[in-house]
Amino acid sequence: MMATHTFRRSRLGGIALLAVAGLTLSACSTGGSSDSAEGGEIEPATITFAASTFGDPGLGPRLQELVDEYNASQDIVTIEPAAVPFPTFGQTVLTQMGGGEGPDLVRFDMPEFTSAADAGLLEPLDDKIDADELGLQEGPDQYMFVNDERYGVIFDTSNYVMYYNTDLIPEPPTTFDEFMDVAKATTQGDVYGLAFRQTQAEENGVWQDIFNYVYGFGGEWSDGEELTLNNPKNVEGLEAYQSLYDANVIPKGADAATFRKMFAQNKVGMELNNGGYLVATRGTNPDLNFSVAPIPFPVRAQGAIMAPIVINANSEHKDAAMDFINWVLEAENQTSLQEALGASSVATKTTRSDEQLAETPFLPVYDELTNSSSPQIVVGFGPQTADIRKIVVTQVISALQGQQTMEEALDNAQDEAEQIVG
C-alpha cells in the first residue's frame, strides 16, 4: 500500500476573524438537536451541502441531479445544495465554520481542507470509513489525513494532462526533448507550440503550471516534515520550464484566458491542464480537433485538483451528513458521480460507459493518472501553502526575467520560506 501522507498541525490564525463574504449557511437547518435518535437511527433532517461547483453552469445541474436522486431515495434526510462563488468560497465557509456555524457538508479544495482540519473545524471520519472495504483509490486518499486522522473522502480529482491540437500535432510527444522539439516546430507566425502562465498577476496559475515541472522531474516541495524547495530535482524541472520560456515557443505575457482562447482558435498547439478544461474547451469551440496524453516528463507524476467532501464539526446532523457520504460511495452512485463530473475521477475506481468512451475516447488517460497525481499544496504545510507559493512564484519569475539563475531563485525561496514556517 502507498504510504499515507499526514499533514502536520501548524498555527493557523484568523479564521474566525475573517469578514464574512456573503451567504450565511446554517449547520442547523431543521430537525432535532442531536445526531441520532435512540437505537442509532438517523433523525429526520434537512442539511446543507456547500460546493462552489453547484454554481458551475455546466457541472452544477448534473450535480443537482445526483442530489435529487439521493433525496428521492429515502424520506429521512434531505440535502439542500448551496452554491458559494468560487472566488470567495474558502473565506466564506471557513469564516462561518470558525464562528461555530456553516454548512453541514462541504466540498473543499485541498488548501481549505488542510486549513479547516488544522483548525479543528472538521469531524474526524476514521471510525466511519473503511478504505479497504470501499476500495478507495490510494493515490488521492492518502491526502485525506491530518495528524494521522482522517477528515475527508475524495469527492472528485481532476488530473493534469497534456492537451494537444491534433491538426497541428498529429502525434503527441512522449519525452521532454520531443516536447521541446514539437513546441519549436509548431511555433510559426502567430501560432505557438505551447502556452503556460508566467506573470506575477497569475500567481496561483503559475504555481499550478510549475507544479507539473517540479514533480514531473522527480522533485517535491517538501518531504512532509521539512521544506525542500531547492531540491536539485526541483531546479532541474524549473530549468526545463525556463528553457521553454527562453525558446520563445509561448505567447509571452498572455494570460490564461487569452491563450486558452488561442488554443480553441488553433493558435496554440499544446497546453498542460486538468480534466475540467475538457468541457470548457469544447464549449469554446465544439469543432476543435484535440486529444490528451500524459505529460511527457521523465517521471509520471503531476498535479491534480483534489476536492474532499467533509463534515462540519459544528453540524448537529453528523449522522445524516454521513448517510449522504455513504450513499455517494456506493458503487452505482460513484459511477453516476463520475459521469456527472466528466473527465474527473472519484473516490473509487469506476468503469467508463461505452457511451462516454464513444463521445470521448481519451477519458481513460485521465483516469490512469489518478494514483500518480498530487494535490497542489506543500505537503505538511497545507495551511501555509499560499505564503510559500507567493515566495516561490516571485523568485521563479525573477529567474525567468534573467535577474538570477533558477538555482539561486530556489535557494532564496528556501531561505524566505523557512523564516515563515518557523
Give residue 328's pLDDT. Answer: 98
Mean pLDDT across the chain: 91
Give the residue-averaged pLDDT of 161-190: 98
Are 172 and 272 in contact by the 8 Å Cβ rule? The answer is no
Interatomic CA distance for residues 324 and 329, integer angstroms: 9
Residue 142 clears pLDDT 50, i.e. is over it = yes
Residue 330 clears pLDDT 80, i.e. is over it = yes
Which value, in Å, is the radius of gyration of the alpha carbons in the chain?
Answer: 22
Interatomic CA distance for residues 160 and 305, integer angstroms: 8
73 Cβ contact partners less than 8 Å away, ≥ 6 residues apart: 327
Give residue 174's pLDDT. Answer: 98
Domains and CATH numbers, the chain: 6-157+305-375 (3.40.190.10), 160-303+379-421 (3.40.190.10)
pLDDT in tens, 76-124: 999 999 988 888 899 899 999 999 999 999 999 998 999 999 999 999 9
Percent of the chain with pLDDT over 70: 91
Give residue 128's pLDDT. Answer: 96
pLDDT in tens, 246-271: 999 999 999 999 999 999 999 999 99
On the 0-12 / 13-18 / 19+ scale of CB atoms within 10 A, 2 is: exposed
- Which residue from 274, 220, 240 is spatially nearest to 392, judged by alpha carbons? 220
3-state secondary structure of 5: coil
SS3 content of the chain, % helix, strand, coil (to 5): 45, 15, 40
pLDDT in tens, 187-211: 999 999 999 999 999 999 999 999 9
pLDDT band at 7 (very low <50, low <70, confident <90, very high): low
